Amino acid sequence: MKKRSLFVAGLLVLAMVSGAGCGSGKREDSQGQSSENAGADTEESTDTQENSSDEKEPVNILIAAAASLEYSLEDELIPMFEEEHPEITVEGTYDSSGKLQTQIEEGLEADLFFSAATAQMDALTEEGFIQEDTVTDLLENKIVLIAAKGEEGNFTSFEDIAKAEMPALGDPASVPAGQYAQEALTNLGLWDEVSAKASFGTNVTEVLNWVAEGSAQAGIVYATDAATQKDNVTQVAEAPEGSLAEPVLYPVAVTKNSQHQEEAQAFLDFLQSGEAAQVFESYGFTVNE
Contact 83, 224 (CB under 8 A): no
Residue 222 is labelled as binding a ligand: yes
Residue 85, pLDDT > 60, answer yes
Q: What is the mean pLDDT of the chain?
A: 86
What is the mean predicted confidence (pLDDT) over 234-261?
96
Q: Is 276 annotated as a binding residue?
A: no
Q: What's the pLDDT tens digit per position in 102-116?
A: 999 999 999 999 999
pLDDT at 182 over 60: yes
Query: pLDDT higher for 39 or 101?
Result: 101
Is 34 within any annotated ligand binding site? Answer: no
**For range 241-246, the mean pLDDT:** 95
18 known ligand binder: no
Tell me which residue of 270, 268, 212 sits closest to 63, measured CA to CA: 268
127-181 confidence digits (pLDDT tens): 999 999 999 999 999 999 999 999 988 999 999 999 999 999 999 999 999 999 9
Q: Do the Cβ atoms of 170 and 204 come closer than 8 Å?
A: yes
Give the tens place of pLDDT for each residue, 15-57. Answer: 444 444 444 433 344 444 444 454 445 454 444 444 444 567 8
pLDDT of residue 2: 42
Alpha-carbon distance 258 to 78, whole Å?
18
- Measured CA to CA, the distance from residue 68 to residue 224 in angstroms comes to 7
Cα–Cα distance for residue pair 193/168, rounded to 1 Å: 13
Give the residue from 209, 169, 187 showing the smallest Cα distance to 70: 209
Burial class of residue 195 in the structure, from the number of CB atoms within 10 Å of its CB (0-12 exposed, 13-18 middle, 19+ buried): middle
Compute the average pLDDT of residues 82-101: 97
**Residue 56: predicted pLDDT:** 74
> Nearest CA to 236 among 205, 215, 199, 211?
211
282 assigned ligand-binding residue = no
